[in-house]
Amino acid sequence: MKHLSFEQGPIRPPSEARSLLMRVTRNCNWNQCIFCTTYRGNHNFERRTVDEVKADIDTVVEIINEAKTLSWKMGLSGEISGELAQRFFDQPGLDYSFLSVIAWLYYGTQAVFLQDANNIILKADDLAQMLDYLNQKIPGISRITTYARSQTAARKSLEDLQKIREAGLSRVHIGLETGYDPLLKYMKKGVNAEAHIIGGRKIIEAGMELSEYYMPGLGGSAMWKEHAIETARVLNAINPHFIRLRTLHVGKTLPLYQRLESGEFELRTPSETVEEIRLLVENLDGITSRMVSDHIGNLLQDVEGKFPEDKGRILEAIDRYLALNEEEQLHYQVGRVMGLYNGVTDMSKPGLSYRVNETVKKLKAKYDGQTQDILIGLHDQLMR
């Protein structure tokens, strides 16, 4: 078996976990946000050439052909079964990128995610050539998505975005984070609320689906209210297809961590962050977006639904949590860290709550009954 490989980047959105990952640029051309270290260090931004990306697509096709040939030999008529996939995973020395194609064939999503952080910065003609080649060489692709910065989308011409759409880019994920200008500046996001709106609307006008990521907790104690209200205002103006929640986590390597240590930036508690999400949801109005809580670090995974019809249901899910007393919140958070609870209604499932209660007892013994200490420890655990 040939040891084939091609280039992939470090991250993708949670919703692209089963997509084929292909890298068309390297790293982030902005790379200054103080809550992000994904591309820090010696990671300069680079545009990959059309020929480089085409060569990677050819490699993916070779891997697909190897897998299908083996499938036919095993009498599976080209299907990639679990048993066949396992054979590849058991082979020593195969590259991660090779195995990612096998997993992609097994899952059968036919979705592709282009890495890294801002691919629409490429010349529209170059990106269109890459997309055309991808569709030509791998027929049957269901969707092609990418990350983008709204600052770049705002500057791009509508004609260029339409060209990219026509070549096959169907969905764009943008890190909106917040719609509050002073907070965007504080976090060095490199964009203001107006550009967020212009860029987001342009993506939609060009015919692409748009996911906007909102970051609960980003306002800290000082700006949480404005963060929620102004983010809702910007989202109302854009009306994206998806509003996705990704809660702030201040890891020790982030520049924001130093501001936290110095006391300049103050985090709100997980329960206070839920209050913030409530304020945002209350202020979302006149939109038809779908809210999705698909990041592992979100406390409530059931804050999901389509606006406007599910707004009441989303608020109910939030209020169920806010109505819990401190002991119950502790119980819920332990269940969340254990991966047993996605929403407060899961607490009424006896099989689950028994296991959580046992863990709570052990934690109380360890932390000498100090609920707040346990909650802080749990939050760090959840966000890891």
Which residue ranges make up the site for ligand SF4 (CB under 6 A)?
Answer: 28, 30-33, 36, 38-39, 117, 149, 175
- The single residue listed with the structure tokens 């986590």 is 249
In the complex with ligand SF4, which residue's Cβ is closer, 30 or 265?
30
| Least distance between ligand SF4 and beta carbon 40 (Å) | 8
In the complex with ligand SF4, which residue's Cβ is closer, 36 or 63?
36
DSSP H helical ranges for the chain = 50-73, 82-90, 96-107, 124-137, 150-155, 158-167, 181-186, 193-205, 220-238, 255-261, 270-283, 311-322, 326-337, 350-366, 371-383
In the complex with ligand SF4, which residue's Cβ is closer, 31 or 100?
31
In the complex with ligand SF4, which residue's Cβ is closer, 60 or 215?
215
Cα 127 to chain centroid, rounded: 22
Whether the upstream peptide bond of residue 181 has omega within 30° of 0, thus cis, is no
| Least distance between ligand SF4 and beta carbon 173 (Å) | 10
Residue 366 CB contacts under 8 Å (≥ 6 apart), including other chains: none
Encoding tokens for residue 144? 């092609």
Cα-based distances in Å from 327 to 39, 85, 135, 333, 341: 40, 46, 54, 10, 16
| Least distance between ligand SF4 and beta carbon 170 (Å) | 21
| Least distance between ligand SF4 and beta carbon 218 (Å) | 11
Encoding tokens for residue 220? 């800290």
In the complex with ligand SF4, which residue's Cβ is closer, 38 or 283?
38
Torsion of CA 27, 29, 32, 38, to 10 degrees: -10
Cα-based distances in Å from 2 to 91, 94, 106: 11, 9, 20
Residue 211 CB contacts under 8 Å (≥ 6 apart), including other chains: 13, 15, 171, 172, 173, 174, 240, 241, 242, 243, 244
| Least distance between ligand SF4 and beta carbon 189 (Å) | 6
In the complex with ligand SF4, which residue's Cβ is closer, 115 or 329?
115
| Least distance between ligand SF4 and beta carbon 324 (Å) | 32
| Least distance between ligand SF4 and beta carbon 38 (Å) | 5
| Least distance between ligand SF4 and beta carbon 196 (Å) | 12
Q: How far apart are CA 142 and CA 304, in angstroms?
A: 24
In the complex with ligand SF4, which residue's Cβ is closer, 196 or 336?
196
Name the CA radius of gyration of the chain, rounded: 22
In the complex with ligand SF4, which residue's Cβ is closer, 38 or 269?
38
